[in-house]
Chains A and B, each alone.
Chain A
Amino acid sequence: MSSGGMAKDLVANLLGREVPTEVNGRVQVPYQGIGGHRPQGRKAAPPIVSATDFPENGDKRLPSLEAALEACGLRDGMTISTHHHFRDGDLIANRTVDACARLGRRDLLWFPSAAFPCHAPMIGHLRSGVLHHIEGSMNGPLGDYCTDGHMRGMGVLRSHGGRWQAIQDGEVHVDVAVIAAPCADFTGNANGVNGLAACGSLNFSLADSLYADKVIVVTDNLVPFPAIPWQIQGCNVDHVVEVDRVGDPSRIVSGTTEITRSPDRLLIAEQVAKFVRDAGIMREGFSFQAGAGGIALPFAIYLKEMMKKAGVKARFVRGGSTKYLVEILEQGLTDYIIDGQTFDLAGVASMRDNPRHVASSPLTSYNFHSKGFFGTLVDVSVLGATEVDVDFNANVVTHSDGRLLHGIGGWQNCLFAGCTILAVPSVRDRIPVIVDRVTTLTGPGELIDVIVTERGIAINPRRLDLRDAVKASGLPIRDIRDIQREVEQICGGKPTPPRRGERPVAVVKWVDGTLIDTIWQTRSPR
């Protein structure tokens, strides 16, 4: 540390990562280890309201977003939230902050459940002062804006579960939540399964609807009361706004989900499926988590064939659903899909029509401040990472040069599965993926059990049970350092260790709200 001024504000956490003691004016707790931090007291709660203050005829419509924001009493410095059900096809987050700008508001905190490239216009609002900072995933141009050190406040990255935790323990108080809905009625009941912008569930906004001071539902598909299913309930909604479009359907869900043709990704996916089979995890009544990533998707397809061949049926599959998970359900290879997020039209239709395809929210699947969550009941989850270190710690949020790359999503929360597998290539265009020390520690190695690469499979030495289970399988089990050495030889020797900048520009939260690592202003050229 050369910057003396900053040093007194940093503290090393249990994993040896330097983290700020204060973020955006709020005192922080450094990472305390898994289960080491348990906040006390009572959960945050929205203000008491009375039904008599709301229209008896149920009609909460206002003519525009501006009118609704004004009716919510939007003031400078408030926190405003939006959600990523429409992914890169979202139109409402930008329109909301545009409306705030027209109302002359400044210094707002934008609290999205995730940001996408379509939210690049937020940079203009950060520059002009309408937004003070962002707490949520940032990538692409927004990520660069933050890593280059231009944002006034510090970015805060949280997992889907961590976002609930922050709302529930009062770390983030949402003043106004704006929930974009593919289908709603005039009193604010809303769902994501009907309408042009159908996206599946609206469950990333559920916490906001329960805890925010004011809630606005925005829809382009107003139906007569009741909008069923009511994933968001009108009793939590203050205002309803009708607009021409809430999202661009072509960028919300894909018509069909393409499977990667990358031979290496397919090879890794097949190895993961074989591991799950040969380790004895694939057995009658088991459960697995798989998303729509380049490797997770073919993994599910390979596993499905193996399940068929072995005559094994799962009790539930945790998605990220796609038509491939839907096929697993429809062919009777699982009793349920428990779906956090839907990626294609087949997934949306299945959630709408099949009672065994159940929408779940981060509240049921991941919530830290709850009496258990079902993420721990999943037998195996298959995830990605940008880097893994020899102690099995992993990075999902930054490139190896420290620039923001991804949000955390549900990644940290899924680490609590019985067996967590990271499926990663061992090298990406001369960048070794297994390193001595990850650039940004997003998940602690003690929760990461297996690394599957195209060059072999490394099992965390903590999991002797898994090592023994696959001993006779013929799978290429290798020491993680052995794979690392081979790749470094290919790439031209040990890579230069990452040089971190001196000023923290964002922090990475662990699922309990403690600081697990810091993103630093980058010094490497773009």
Chain B
Amino acid sequence: MTVRSAQAGVRGERGRSDCWVEVEPRSTGGLDLSVTTKVEAMYGDRVRATCRDVLAALGVENARVVIEDRGALDYALAARLEAAVARAGLGNGRTFLPPAGPGLQAAARRERPRRSRLYLPGNDPKLFLNAHLHGPDGIILDLEDSVAPASKDEARFLVRNALRSVDFGRSERMVRINQGERGLGDVDAVAPHNVHVLLLPKVESAEQVRAVDDRVHRAGASCLLMPIIESALGCFNALAIASASPSVVALTIGLEDYTADIGTERTREGKESLWARQVVVNAARAAGITPIDSVFSDVADTEGLRQSVLEARALGFEGKGCIHPRQVSVVHEAFAPTEAEIDRAVRIVLAFEDAERKGLGVVALGSKMIDPPVVKRALRVVDGAEALGLLPRDWRARNGTGAP
């Protein structure tokens, strides 16, 4: 790679919580670092120290480096610097990994609610910090459609650093990688940094899933996988895709691309995609994984979103994609069990616990036998209702059968 001047990051007002970096390689003269930052009064010295650390780790000794910072946190600053250095043909493939934050310890769980997954554009750090405060079950750092082709390389650095530094709270840590070779490169870059779930776009065959799975293992990592069906071919191969690897944990569908693929447009009623959505639900169920619906793209239409979730739930889906944090609570409420469902679940759980106390092998509600999967589902409903505040924590006592 030839050595040349290069830039990275975002310049001006659009670059809130971000920065813009220019690296101009030189043959001699040491490091000429020029930093202007919005946080001069509070963190000016720290910004400069971080820049020097990153440049030293990347082995950049002679260069003019200009930074215009609008409040980027250290991890974003480091990612932009690394991207500019790489684009300038410096660094010799060295990397700078920010120190490990608490999020790196958050354990992946195969069994967990995946009602909402919130997409965040992978090249825009300003939304990363607070995303988990909105309570999504999962946060997706997106490297695919929301990142412009010219920014793919720098988004990769940014997402990797965010995975190391940003606390995503109790949300499942997800990354949507690109298709094909670039996607496998994404895996190399991000998988070692505690990605819980990789989302695979536009999957049409089980081989594509296995290629990613192999790459994850080769990177010495372990990630659950969520393939996204976005084409007619993908639909026909849905069961094979859902069963491609034990790592596959859920199957979802992308309706914008799917409708384009079958030569139509997405409508509000969604008749054109009903078959595809049912295919995804059935393939997922057949493979024993979770079916998850597409996103609802009109951010302003809360009622439309609610209806869309109720419909998804009726079709058998257990989750929905979100493109704005304010969609999360609407999705959770719409997926929440109804009062009648909670009542029934409470009665089943009480009957189950009663049977256990009495050492009975069979659970009965009135004259009706209750099968174990029904009990399991009732327990899930009760837990979920408790978590949502729909059921008081002391509901057992209120039902007169106080737990010991």
A-B CB proximity, top 10 nearest: A429-B71, A495-B42, A263-B325, A401-B41, A430-B71, A429-B17, A524-B41, A430-B39, A264-B130, A492-B46
Contacts of A496 in B (CB 8 A): 41-45
Chain A contacts with B in 253-267, Cβ cutoff 8 A = 261, 263-264, 266-267
Inter-chain pairs besides A263-B134, A493-B46, A496-B44, 20 sampled, C-beta below 8 Å: A263-B130, A263-B325, A264-B130, A264-B133, A266-B326, A401-B42, A429-B16, A429-B38, A429-B71, A430-B43, A430-B71, A474-B389, A490-B73, A492-B43, A492-B73, A492-B74, A495-B42, A496-B43, A496-B45, A524-B41
Chain A contacts with B in 407-461, Cβ cutoff 8 A = 427-432, 454-455
Q: A400 within 8 Å of B by Cβ?
A: yes
Query: Contact between B17 and A430 (Cβ–Cβ < 8 Å)?
Result: yes
Chain B contact patch, size range: 20 to 34
Contacts of A495 in B (CB 8 A): 41-43
1/0 contact string of A496-514 vs chain B (CB within 8 Å) = 1011000000000000000
1/0 contact string of B46-81 vs chain A (CB within 8 Å) = 100010000000000000000000111110000000
Partner of A267, one of B46, B70, B133, B299: B133
Contacts of B130 in A (CB 8 A): 263-264, 267, 454
The residues of A with any CB-CB pair to B shorter than 8 Å are 261, 263-264, 266-267, 400-402, 427-432, 454-455, 474, 490-493, 495-496, 498-499, 524-525
Known: A267-B134, A431-B71. A491 touches B43 (CB 8 A): yes
Minimum CB–CB distance for A18 against chain B, Å: 19
| 19 A–B contacts from the bound complex (CB under 8 Å) | A263-B127, A263-B130, A263-B324, A267-B133, A400-B42, A402-B41, A430-B39, A430-B72, A432-B42, A474-B389, A490-B73, A490-B129, A490-B167, A492-B46, A492-B74, A495-B41, A495-B43, A498-B41, A499-B41
The distance in angstroms between the C-alpha atoms of A216 and B389, with both chains bound, is: 61
Q: B265 within 8 Å of A by Cβ?
A: no
The distance in angstroms between the C-alpha atoms of A414 and B129, with both chains bound, is: 32
The distance in angstroms between the C-alpha atoms of A524 and B50, with both chains bound, is: 20
Contacts of A490 in B (CB 8 A): 73, 129, 167
Most chain A C-beta atoms within 10 Å of own C-beta, residue among B41, B44, B70, B324: B41
1/0 contact string of B292-303 vs chain A (CB within 8 Å) = 000000010000
Q: B40 within 8 Å of A by Cβ?
A: yes
The distance in angstroms between the C-alpha atoms of A427 and B133, with both chains bound, is: 13
Query: Contact between A431 and B39 (Cβ–Cβ < 8 Å)?
Result: yes
Chain A residue with Cβ nearest B69 = A430
Chain B contacts with A in 25-49, Cβ cutoff 8 A = 36, 38-46
Query: Contact between A429 and B133 (Cβ–Cβ < 8 Å)?
Result: no
The residues of B with any CB-CB pair to A shorter than 8 Å are 16-17, 36, 38-46, 50, 70-74, 126-127, 129-130, 133-134, 167, 299, 324-326, 389
The distance in angstroms between the C-alpha atoms of A352 and B345, with both chains bound, is: 56
Partner of B42, one of A264, A431, A474: A431
Minimum CB–CB distance for A79 against chain B, Å: 35
Known: A455-B133, A474-B389. A525 touches B40 (CB 8 A): yes
Describe A's contact surface by its main secondary structure.
loop
Minimum CB–CB distance for B402 against chain A, Å: 20
Chain B residue with Cβ nearest A439 = B41
The distance in angstroms between the C-alpha atoms of A428 and B17, with both chains bound, is: 8
The distance in angstroms between the C-alpha atoms of A70 and B16, with both chains bound, is: 50
Minimum CB–CB distance for A171 against chain B, Å: 33
The distance in angstroms between the C-alpha atoms of A496 and B40, with both chains bound, is: 9
The distance in angstroms between the C-alpha atoms of A428 and B130, with both chains bound, is: 11
Minimum CB–CB distance for B168 against chain A, Å: 13
Contacts of B40 in A (CB 8 A): 401, 524-525
Chain A residue with Cβ nearest B167 = A490
The distance in angstroms between the C-alpha atoms of A363 and B45, with both chains bound, is: 48
Query: Contact between B325 and A267 (Cβ–Cβ < 8 Å)?
Result: yes
Most chain A C-beta atoms within 10 Å of own C-beta, residue among B42, B44, B134, B167: B42
Most chain B C-beta atoms within 10 Å of own C-beta, residue among A263, A491, A524: A263
The distance in angstroms between the C-alpha atoms of A402 and B326, with both chains bound, is: 34
Minimum CB–CB distance for A229 against chain B, Å: 37
Contacts of A266 in B (CB 8 A): 326
Contacts of B134 in A (CB 8 A): 263, 267
Contacts of A431 in B (CB 8 A): 38-39, 42, 71
The distance in angstroms between the C-alpha atoms of A261 and B73, with both chains bound, is: 23
The distance in angstroms between the C-alpha atoms of A454 and B134, with both chains bound, is: 9
Partner of B39, one of A429, A454, A474, A498: A429
Minimum CB–CB distance for B184 against chain A, Å: 32
The distance in angstroms between the C-alpha atoms of A498 and B17, with both chains bound, is: 21
Contacts of B389 in A (CB 8 A): 474
Chain B residue with Cβ nearest A427 = B129
Query: Contact between A491 and B73 (Cβ–Cβ < 8 Å)?
Result: yes
The distance in angstroms between the C-alpha atoms of A454 and B74, with both chains bound, is: 21
Query: Contact between B70 and A429 (Cβ–Cβ < 8 Å)?
Result: yes
The distance in angstroms between the C-alpha atoms of A428 and B389, with both chains bound, is: 31
The distance in angstroms between the C-alpha atoms of A430 and B127, with both chains bound, is: 13
The distance in angstroms between the C-alpha atoms of A495 and B42, with both chains bound, is: 5
Query: Contact between B43 and A263 (Cβ–Cβ < 8 Å)?
Result: no
Contacts of A524 in B (CB 8 A): 40-41
Contacts of A492 in B (CB 8 A): 43, 46, 50, 73-74
The distance in angstroms between the C-alpha atoms of A128 and B133, with both chains bound, is: 52
The distance in angstroms between the C-alpha atoms of A96 and B94, with both chains bound, is: 64
Chain A residue with Cβ nearest B327 = A263
Contacts of A263 in B (CB 8 A): 127, 130, 134, 324-326
The distance in angstroms between the C-alpha atoms of A261 and B129, with both chains bound, is: 17
Contacts of A427 in B (CB 8 A): 129
Contacts of A493 in B (CB 8 A): 46
Query: Contact between A454 and B133 (Cβ–Cβ < 8 Å)?
Result: yes
The distance in angstroms between the C-alpha atoms of A498 and B126, with both chains bound, is: 25
Minimum CB–CB distance for A297 against chain B, Å: 15
Contacts of B43 in A (CB 8 A): 430, 491-492, 495-496
Query: Contact between A430 and B326 (Cβ–Cβ < 8 Å)?
Result: no
The distance in angstroms between the C-alpha atoms of A491 and B74, with both chains bound, is: 8
The distance in angstroms between the C-alpha atoms of A401 and B71, with both chains bound, is: 14
Contacts of A402 in B (CB 8 A): 41
Minimum CB–CB distance for B91 against chain A, Å: 23
Most chain A C-beta atoms within 10 Å of own C-beta, residue among B50, B71, B133: B133
